[in-house]
Amino acid sequence: MDFTIILQAGIASGTVLLFATIGELFSERAGVLNLGVEGMMLIGAMSAFSTTIATGNPWLGVIVAMLFAGIISQIHAFIVITLQGDQVVSGLSLTFLGAGISLVLGDGLSKAGTVALLPNFSMPLLNLIPILGKIFFTDQSVLVYIGYLLVPLAWYYINRTRPGLHLRAVGEYPSAADALGINVFRMRYFYVFVGGMLAGLAGATISLAVSPGWFSELTTGGQGWIAIGLVIFAQWDPVRAAVGSYAFGALRRLILDIQGPTMLLGFANPFYYNPYLGFFLQMLPYLFTVVVLVIGSREAMRKRIGAPAALGNPYIRGERGK
């Protein structure tokens, strides 16, 4: 096993988590918890794949995926922002709805065969860096590079720009933001839409780049939920989100690859000779998410940093409190 190859593939599969995590991060920074990531990713994966089949243009697939998932996210936005419904239940219902719609519209897509995929390329010069160049800049999908750009951009936007300041104000102290003339409702709708689009992009990344195709609900396999866990681990910071996403991507790859070779570190590979032990490997990403949550929650308690103060609460004009 060549670990640089595993890490290289891990970065690609971590890009899926990265988009979904950053998207959810924007939504939560504005004070809206959206548990519908899994559903929006399924919508994105399905619509990207089917658009690409129909038109032969994967970029059109990406755009349709982002728009469709963004529109679906507005159902959640309407329920929790305008109707002040419970964010947990509404987000869950969005996951059901997204899964249902993508299963209905994606019916038969799994037999569609191969489509035009997004291009892979190596970044000139940067790919010559020893080891790191191989892992990060050699034969990666264009979406992976977009992911590299997204992380610093998101960080800079949230922490160093005026709209980013408004975003944080809306999530921390909406009534103060409102008093300053920021339209809390419009901002929240907007960032839920951003979250939806990025979840859609995450879905498109799966079906057009990382593991091409449409495999009904198995396409995402719970990655939307892992992304929500990663936001907590990341403590709502894009850079930490990137670290978590890539680490999880690498773990997913490692689990797939570890079952292949007959020898492992000089010993007979138990996962090769007893394939059913692979089920324990399959548990690892999910168990790791729980472990990561424990770490994130403990650290947050110790450092007294936490979720955006208004996360999960509807903003009602004229009511006292946050």
Partner 1 sequence: MAESKSITQRKPLRIRVEPRLSEPPAWYPAAISFGALIIALILGGVLISLAGGDPILSYKHIAKASFGDIGVLSDTIVKATPIILAALACSVAFRMKLWNIGAEGQFIMGAFGASVIVLAPVLPAETSRWIFIPVMMMAGMAAGALWGFIPGYLKAKFNVNEIISTLMLNYVAVAWMNFWIFGVWTEGGFQMSPKFPQTAWLPRLLEYAKSIPAFRGLTTHLGLVIGIVAAVILWFIIFRSRWGYEIRLIGDNPQAAKYAGINITQNVIWVMMLSGALAGLGGMSEVTGVVHRLQTAPIAAGYGFTGIIVAWLAKLNPIVIIFVSILFGALILAGREIQPSGVPKMIQGIILVCLIASDFLLRYRIVISRGEE
Kindly list the residues in this chain that would bind partner 1 in the complex (CB under 8 A). 35, 39, 75, 78-79, 83-86, 88-90, 92-108, 216, 222, 225-226, 228-229, 232, 274, 276-277, 279-280, 282-283, 286-287, 289-290, 293-294, 297-298, 301
Nearer to partner 1, 162 or 302 (CB): 302
Q: How far is the CB of 283 from partner 1 (least distance, A)?
A: 5
Q: How far is the CB of 192 from partner 1 (least distance, A)?
A: 15
Nearer to partner 1, 243 or 293 (CB): 293
Nearer to partner 1, 4 or 313 (CB): 313
- Could you please report the per-residue DSSP string of 133-171? HHHHHSSEEHHHHHHHHHHHHHHHHHHHSHHHHHHHHHH
Nearer to partner 1, 90 or 140 (CB): 90
- Could you please report the per-residue DSSP string of 228-273? HHHHHHTTT-HHHHHHHHHHHHHHHHHHHHTTS-SEETTEE-HHHH
Pair 312, 80: CB distance under 8 Å: no
DSSP 295: H
Could you tell me which residues come within 8 angstroms of residue 241 by beta carbon, excluding any fewer than 6 positions away? 18, 21, 22, 25, 151, 230, 231, 234
Pair 311, 322: CB distance under 8 Å: no
Could you tell me which residues come within 8 angstroms of residue 253 by beta carbon, excluding any fewer than 6 positions away? 6, 7, 9, 10, 13
Nearer to partner 1, 45 or 226 (CB): 226
Nearer to partner 1, 37 or 150 (CB): 37
Nearer to partner 1, 144 or 232 (CB): 232
Pair 39, 95: CB distance under 8 Å: yes
Q: How far is the CB of 55 from partner 1 (least distance, A)?
A: 20
Q: How far is the CB of 280 from partner 1 (least distance, A)?
A: 7
Q: How far is the CB of 72 from partner 1 (least distance, A)?
A: 10
Q: How far is the CB of 148 from partner 1 (least distance, A)?
A: 27
Here the tokens at position 136 are 């990060």
The whole-angstrom separation of Cα 191 and Cα 27 is 5
Q: How far is the CB of 104 from partner 1 (least distance, A)?
A: 4
